[in-house]
Structure formats: structure tokens, C-alpha cells
Amino acid sequence: MPVLRHVRQAAAFIAVTVQRACHNSFIEWAKGGEAHAKYTVSSVIFVAQIVCVAIGWMLAHSTGGQADLKKCFDKGNLSKFAHIGLIYALGDIFEMESVNYIDSSTYTVLSQSKLIITATLMWILDGSAQSMMQWFILFTTSSGMLEYVLVGKAKGGAMVFSVFGVCLAIVKVCISCYVAVLNTKALKRDSNPFPVQFSCLKVSWAFASLVYMVVKDGILGDGMWGEWTHRTVVLVFCGFILKTLFNQYLLKVLDAIWKNISEAIGVILVYFGRVIFLGGKYDPTVFNAGVTVVLACIAYVLSKESKAKKSDVGDELNPEMYPDLTT
């Protein structure tokens, strides 16, 4: 039913947006007041992927029984999503390394190019063309996010900048955009239920995360796990696991553009939540920049929904416009 499908799409979009807005707060809270987290980031990512694999298996068994569970171990299904999971893991690695050289605001500025990059990749890989109006709206959205971050940063704090870190961040953005489009195509073209697709994707993702954890924090570091607390466990489940579940389902029912728009709105919600709940100082300039981004995102969504209208004369001369007169 069209109504049920729209409700499901709206619910997925809202869930991703709210979770994305809370994700950074979970990361800050998990540090326990320390400047740097005592747990290793690679261990958090690895555990989150392993749990996601188990969740995928349980969902497959609960919705499709033993038949769907067997599909999760099928070599054909695993190989179909193996390269996508590896690329996702590679994007995680570049993201974790880039934040060691640049601050979060600089990374946010660079990541806002993903809307335009994703639209370009969807046009090249999937044939989903954007109209001239949509391209200008995308540029407006990215410009608004740039203003939001720079104005907010100018109110206090020094910006950490590194050419190497910028290069890592740009590579991560390109990887993220490419794999999101690739994953959208794979999810929609594959006939298996979503839990089967999800678990197969996470198997290769978890394996790549394990290799990275062993090499970086095991062989080349002081310990693969660091110090875990109850806050770390909450971060894994309420942060990374919910994030990946919601994101993958959003890609299943919508597309990568909606995911990126959700993330852009989520950044604005972080500021609003900080003012309302965490005692942050309200600034009208930053607020106006945030509203500009939200309105630009809504305009882009509406532009995708609206179809090109034919001329009134053409509609009047079209016999299909008068179904009641046909015999």
C-alpha cells in the first residue's frame, strides 16, 4: 500500500535523523569526562559489527524461519555484499585516522560535499539525473552548512588544520558516497529479505574491522581493547549499532541522498539540543545558518517529489486526461 510505504519511509528518515543527532553526544558521554577515550575506537567498531551480524541472523530467523537463516550463510549472498562491507570498513578507517589530524568542525565542513558527490555518483552509476534546480539547491545546502560550521567555530575555539588530515577526510567522503550508492543499488536489486542482506553485509565489514584492530591497536599499539566501562557498552548499542541498523534500512526504503540529508539535519539538531538540554548559549547567527540548511534540505526533497508538469494545452488535448469519457 502506498500509504504504508510512505509511513515506513518517514519513520526510517526520522529515526536516522534523531539517532545521528544523538550519536556525538553518546561519544562525548562515553569518555567519562576524560580528554581522550580509554577504549580503542577500533574495538568499539569491531564489537558493533559482530553484534550487528548476530542481530541480522536473529531477525532473519524470526521473520523467515530456518530458510532465511540458511540464506545468511549462502556463499553467493555473502560474496554479493563482501566488497561493499570491505569498502564500508575502509571508510571507517579513514574517518578514524582523519580526526587525529583535524578537528570535528573542519571534518564536518569537508563532509558536506557528500550531497553533491552522492548526486553525481548516482547520476553516473545509477542513471538518476538531477535537474538544474536540484543542483543549485544542493550547492545552497552545502554552502549553508559551511556557513553554519564556520560561524559556530568563530564564536570560540581554535581550528585544528592539517593537509594530510584534509586529504584523509576527502578520501573518506568519496568512499562514503561511493559505497552508499553502491549499497543502495545492491539492496534494491537483491531479492533477499532485509535481515539476510544486512547480516551478509556485516560479515565482511566485521572481518575487515577485526584485521584493522589487530594490526593497529594490537601489533602496532599497546592493546586491542583499551579500558571498557558500562559507558562504552551503551555507546556500542545506542550509538554504533542503532546507527548502522537505521542507516541500512533507510538505504533499503529510500536512497543515499536521503541518508545524507538526514545527516545534515542531524548536525543542526545537535546545536539545538545543546542549547535546550546542555546549557549551550543561543546565537541568532548560528541559528539562522542552521535554519537555512534545513529549509534547503526540505526544498531539495520537495524538488525530487515533484514531477515535470506538461503544458496545460498538452494536457487538455491528451485523451488519457478524460478517463470518464472512454468506453
pLDDT digits (tens, 9 = 90+) for 14-72: 877 777 667 666 766 777 767 667 888 788 889 989 998 999 999 899 988 999 999 99
What angle is formed at CA 113 by the lines to CA 104 and CA 289, rounded to 5 degrees? 70
Domain ranges of the chain: 14-30+40-305
Q: Residue written as cell 594490526? A: 215
* Average pLDDT over all residues of the chain: 77
Q: Over the stretch 187-200, which tens digit does the pLDDT of each residue have?
A: 888 888 888 998 99
Instruction: Give pTM, 2 decimals.
Output: 0.67
pLDDT at 234 over 60: yes
Q: What is the pLDDT at residue 158? A: 47
pLDDT of 156 strictly over 60: no
8 Å CB contact between 174 and 51: no
The C-alpha cell that represents 297 in the structure block: 534540505
Instruction: Return the number of other C-beta atoms located less than 10 Å from residue 73's C-beta.
Output: 13
Give the max Cα distance, the chain: 81
Which residue did the predictor score with more confidence, 41 or 219?
A: 219
Mean pLDDT for 323-327 is 58
As to burial, measured by CB atoms within 10 angstroms (0-12 exposed, 13-18 middle, 19+ buried), residue 293 is buried
Strand partners, 313: none
- In terms of Cα–Cα distance, which of 55, 87, 77 is closest to 183? 87
Cβ neighbours of residue 141 closer than 8 Å, sequence gap 6 or more:
112, 115, 261, 264, 293, 296, 297, 300
Q: How far is CA 102 from CA 42, 264, 317, in A?
A: 19, 19, 61
pLDDT tens across 271-287, in order? Answer: 676 677 656 677 777 77
Give pLDDT, residue 15: 79
Q: What is the DSSP string of 14-65?
A: HHHHHHHHHHHHHHHHHTTT-SS-SB-HHHHHHHHHHHHHHHHHHHHHHHHH
